[in-house]
Structure 1
């Protein structure tokens, strides 16, 4: 089997709610969902989701190769961009190709990807995440109630600006999930908006009244020493890593004794997650993927690793023309039992719903405020 070519297209995901975090939000959000189709000479097409970054520059590393050699092809793509480096958006392109190759490999074997990777159970524990900083209290309760109806017992709030507001909203989530458990899992995601002492004060204020399972991205992603200091100062676990591209970028955090929960962006792909999980397991650390909806294939990898903790799910519906044969029930994800990753694409439907907006919206969550990490008081008012 040989790789013969590729096609790219983008779907349009209408979230039917505002999405964002402390760094900004998009009202009534519509986002682009990049899709990659890789063709082979045996008629098997692989589907990848995540990013179109540098696909044309990366493709020569795999063209004409056997797509089933996924791990080696991953390293060939890294070598292809050796001089300029693979960090950032380029790693997203590598990961999207990687997901499509794993899809081909599983389809060729006639097995679902989770079984090909060595998984035993197609159920994946998960938690709900609303990207919810712009939702009012009623909308917040409605979002998490849909997940509670599906048996979920844990949720993650976007916050970090006003502890009184976060406490009130965490209690709303707690109340919703108490229909399923007496001790819901509550997480708070600050999206790199604090420095160490701000984080200690803020988390300490919350922990006087509520139990947090973890606090996510409290500091800048590269602050290994700061994460270790923070972990020693609060009860909650410290979770970070979703924006690190490549296992080698985790080395300083591991060497410093942080984080407590190793996170990986789903957008960085299957092979990245498998390799990172192995390194984390050598340190007895759990792994938790972030942003499952951006690249659902990564959930299959979680079936095959022993230190998977839980996976972030941001919605139970996908973009137009993207059909994902996964179910959201019993507090998790039930993976497809069909060959491949369980993702099929309706090109006609996607063409009919051309995207008009994306995450590059200047008011959106990818723009860091100038005063992030420099607020003097914790009352939600910028001074």
Structure 2
């Protein structure tokens, strides 16, 4: 069997609510999802999600090769970008192709990916995450009530501008979840918006009101010394890693003892998630995947590693023209038995394409000009908008 070609597709996902973080949000609640389809000479196709960046050059590393050689082909793609660098969005292109190769490999084996990877239990425990910076109290209550009714007893909120506002929102969600459990868990994601003194002060004020299971991305992703200091100063567990594009970027965080919950973004692919899990396990650290709405194949990894803690679940919706073989219930994800990664494309997607939409100038992927430049515990509360 040989890899012969690829197709790039954009579809859309409608969240049913504005989505974003402290850096901005998308008020329409509609974003695009890049899809890559890898073709073979035997007619078996693999579907992957991540990003489209760099794929023409990356494909040169895998064209004509046997798609079942997933580890070797992953390393060939990394090597192909040796001079230009594999970081940033290009790493998402590697992740999309890698996930498609794993899809092919599992289809050829006639097994769902979770079983091919060595998983035993198809259930993946998770926590609810609303990407909810723009939600007012009624909308916040509606989303987390719906997730509580699906069995979730832990939630992660977006915040970082105003600790009083964050405390009120966390208390609201805590009280909702407390209707289903005696020990609701709360997390806060600041999306790299603080500097160290601001983070220390913010958490001290916030913890007078609510208890946090973890603080996510409080400082810049590479600030190993600062993250370690924050851990020692606040006593709150630090979660980070979703924006690290390569296993080597975790090294300084591990060496500094700066991380408690090791994260990896779904858009970076299956092989990256597997390798991050092994590296974390060697240091007795748990992993927590994020962004599975961008690449559901990675949730299969959680079934096959010994240190999976919990997975971010942002929606039960599926993108336009796509079918995913899983159910969001019982406080997590229940994977199905469809061979491969459990993703199928409908004709509506195969015959058309949507513009890529995720933020623009005011969206959540554009860092605020004032992020990390405050000494106090408050930032302007007005969020930017991107339609």
TM (normalized to structure 2)?
0.96
DSSP-derived class of the 1:192 partner: coil
DSSP-derived class of the 1:264 partner: coil
Specify the alignment match of 1:159 in structure 2: 159
Provide the C-alpha distance between the structure 1 equivalents of 2:293 and 2:181, rounded to a whole number of angstroms.
25
Question: Is the contact between residue 105 and residue 340 of structure 1 (CA under 8 Å) also seen in structure 2?
Answer: yes
Q: In the TM superposition, what are the counterparts of 1:89-104 in structure 2 within 5 Å? A: 89-104=89-104
Specify the alignment match of 1:270 in structure 2: 270
Question: Is the contact between residue 26 and residue 359 of structure 2 (CA under 8 Å) also seen in structure 1?
Answer: no
Specify the alignment match of 2:384 in structure 1: none
Q: In the TM superposition, what are the counterparts of 1:334-353 in structure 2 within 5 Å? A: 334-349=334-349, 351=351
Matched, 1:306 2:269: no
Aligned-pair CA distance for 1:234:
1.4
Matched, 1:369 2:365: no
Provide the C-alpha distance between the structure 1 equivalents of 2:212 and 2:350, rounded to a whole number of angstroms.
40
TM (normalized to structure 1)?
0.97
Deviations 1:334-377 (A, max 9, x none): 1121111100011325646x535611421111111111112233
DSSP-derived class of the 2:38 partner: strand
Q: Count residues with an aligned counterpart.
A: 381
Provide the C-alpha distance between the structure 2 equivalents of 1:58 and 1:127, rounded to a whole number of angstroms.
34
Deviations 1:290-314 (A, max 9, x none): 1111000000011000001111111
Question: Is the contact between residue 30 and residue 357 of structure 1 (CA under 8 Å) also seen in structure 2?
Answer: no
Specify the alignment match of 1:129 in structure 2: 129
Question: Is the contact between residue 201 and residue 376 of structure 2 (CA under 8 Å) also seen in structure 1?
Answer: no
Provide the C-alpha distance between the structure 2 equivalents of 1:25 and 1:244, rounded to a whole number of angstroms.
22
Specify the alignment match of 2:254 in structure 1: 254
Specify the alignment match of 1:324 in structure 2: 324
Q: 1:201 to 1:361 in 2, by over 3 A?
A: same
Gaps in structure 1 of 5+ consecutive residues: none
Question: Is the contact between residue 4 and residue 40 of structure 2 (CA under 8 Å) also seen in structure 1?
Answer: yes
Aligned-pair CA distance for 1:378:
2.3
Q: In the TM superposition, what are the counterparts of 1:166-205 in structure 2 within 5 Å? A: 166-205=166-205
Deviations 1:5-41 (A, max 9, x none): 1111110112221111111111122211111111112
Provide the C-alpha distance between the structure 2 equivalents of 1:103 and 1:375, rounded to a whole number of angstroms.
46
Question: Is the contact between residue 130 and residue 143 of structure 1 (CA under 8 Å) also seen in structure 2?
Answer: yes
Question: Is the contact between residue 185 and residue 213 of structure 1 (CA under 8 Å) also seen in structure 2?
Answer: yes
Specify the alignment match of 1:78 in structure 2: 78
Matched, 1:56 2:56: yes
Range with bigger deviation, 5-14 or 213-222: 5-14
Provide the C-alpha distance between the structure 2 equivalents of 1:312 and 1:88, rounded to a whole number of angstroms.
22
Aligned-pair CA distance for 1:101:
0.4
Aligned-pair CA distance for 1:381:
3.5
Deviations 1:75-133 (A, max 9, x none): 01111111111011111000000000000000000111001001110100111111101
Specify the alignment match of 1:33 in structure 2: 33
DSSP-derived class of the 2:36 partner: strand
Provide the C-alpha distance between the structure 2 equivalents of 1:90 and 1:106, rounded to a whole number of angstroms.
25
Provide the C-alpha distance between the structure 1 equivalents of 2:65 and 2:356, rounded to a whole number of angstroms.
36
Aligned-pair CA distance for 1:185:
1.1
Specify the alignment match of 1:295 in structure 2: 295
Question: Is the contact between residue 48 and residue 295 of structure 1 (CA under 8 Å) also seen in structure 2?
Answer: yes
Aligned-pair CA distance for 1:209:
2.1
Specify the alignment match of 1:107 in structure 2: 107
Question: Is the contact between residue 112 and residue 338 of structure 1 (CA under 8 Å) also seen in structure 2?
Answer: yes
Question: Is the contact between residue 270 and residue 301 of structure 2 (CA under 8 Å) also seen in structure 1?
Answer: yes
Aligned-pair CA distance for 1:199:
0.8
Question: Is the contact between residue 10 and residue 350 of structure 1 (CA under 8 Å) also seen in structure 2?
Answer: no
Provide the C-alpha distance between the structure 1 equivalents of 2:359 and 2:167, rounded to a whole number of angstroms.
30
CA RMSD of aligned residues (A): 1.3
Provide the C-alpha distance between the structure 2 equivalents of 1:181 and 1:236, rounded to a whole number of angstroms.
22
Aligned-pair CA distance for 1:202:
0.6
